[in-house]
Amino acid sequence: MSCSGVHVNVRLFAFWVMVLVIRSGAGRIVGMKALGGTAMLVLALFLGVFVWALGNGTPLSGEPTALMQINKGATPLKLARSGANSRPIAPEFSGGQVQVVLDVTLGTSQRRPKPRDQKSSDGLLEQSKFGPLPKRSLDGRSPARAYARTVLVPRDTLPRIAILVTGLGLNQRLSERAVQKLPPQISLAFSAYGRRLPRLIGQAQNRGHELMLQVPMEPLDYPESDTGPQTLLVAHSAKENRPRLHWSLGRFTGYFGVVNNKGGRFLANSKAADGLFQELQRRGLVFFRENAGGNNGLSRLAARVGLGYSQANLHLDRKPSEPAIKLALQKLEATARRSGFAIGVAHMHPVSINVISEWAKRLESRGFHLVPVSTAYGTSRS
């Protein structure tokens, strides 16, 4: 039975119980003399149950909803926001049930798609108890190539700069601000511990951002620095770490690679890193190390297992202030001029979002191309 059916049955049950109570006490209610405080309390209780049932029969707690079936391949449902900047919300959908939530007061609507089935036409997902996990398709396609952002830049010799902003999903307001304010060429890394990820992911994809997944890994000062219950640990074998990794991988779909969250101790251990790299390579993903400088051993390990690997040239906001970030961006430009390509990493600080978005507006006029991080792997589609 569907959720809507259960909701209707609860309402009917409460309604008929209320009717029976009122009918059985009708004579006394008319007289008003025989109706004591206890009877009034019982009647009020049943009325309260009835009102509660009307508002809480669905997981959306009283919001007007409807379940709609959208066939795969059908024209996408276009539900636009009100206002001058109306546009479709999450225009790409691979089929299945969609729950439409209607906001009667504001006159808006929003689609909430259920997770895609493992038989999705792209063939890049497999179902697991942790949710859909990325995988290579039967025809050899990989998530790293399929989900990389399309790059449309002239084939010239101008230096290229990529920036990855991390930590999205942990703060809803700042995450939405980063998605909307940063230019779409900037790649976004969402934390595996993020909240309301499907909605944020949809917004980011609609804006054109490519996505990475931030996986928690054991830091040097663990457990003083606690990276959560799904942290990949050096003391665990690859088999023991795999369920934790799969938990993170199943948090959302559409990312082309994985970036470390902390991980100083984990990535310094070649055996632990090898187990991680083997699993990522098997699933057709790439790995990005957000820490700048050093650790050539990781790049050699990645090359040995056939995993795409890259790392940051510069961390832009270790000191999250406007002067410090502007100075770091100047250094990033200098690196790009010397080598032709440079990658900067920033966290989702409000000042970082503001400074980077303003800096990007004038980057082309200074003789640079802003490109997504996937360009470093040769996986971006042009």
Do 314 and 181 belong to one domain?
Answer: yes
User: Both 42 and 15 in a single domain?
Assistant: yes
Please list the rounded mean pLDDT of every run of 10 residues in the chain (382 residues). 44 51 46 46 52 42 39 37 32 35 30 36 88 95 93 82 98 97 98 95 96 98 95 97 98 97 96 98 97 84 97 96 98 97 97 98 96 87 52
220 and 360, same domain (yes or no): yes
Encoding tokens for residue 217?
Answer: 């890994």
Domain C-terminal end among 29, 56, 83: 56
**Residue numbers of the domain that contains 168:** 143-377
Residue 128, in any domain of the structure: no
Domain co-membership, 67 together with 42? no
Give the total number of structural domains in the chain: 3
Give domain status of residue 129, yes or no: no
Assess whether 41 and 149 both reside in one domain. no
| Together in a domain, 344 and 201 | yes
Output the pLDDT for position 236.
Answer: 97
In angstroms, the CA 57 to CA 52 distance is 8
Pairing mode of beta strands 286-289, 255-262: parallel
Q: Which alpha helices (H) appear in 25-98, and where do they start and end?
A: 26-31, 37-56
The pLDDT value given to residue 112 = 33
**Residues in contact with 367: Cβ distance below 8 Å, sequence separation at least 6, in sequence order:** 158, 159
Whether the CA torsion 6, 107, 89, 61 is positive or negative: it is negative
User: Looking at the domain assignment, is residue 136 inside a domain?
Assistant: no
Please check whether residues 220 and 107 belong to one and the same domain. no
CATH at 317: 3.20.20.370
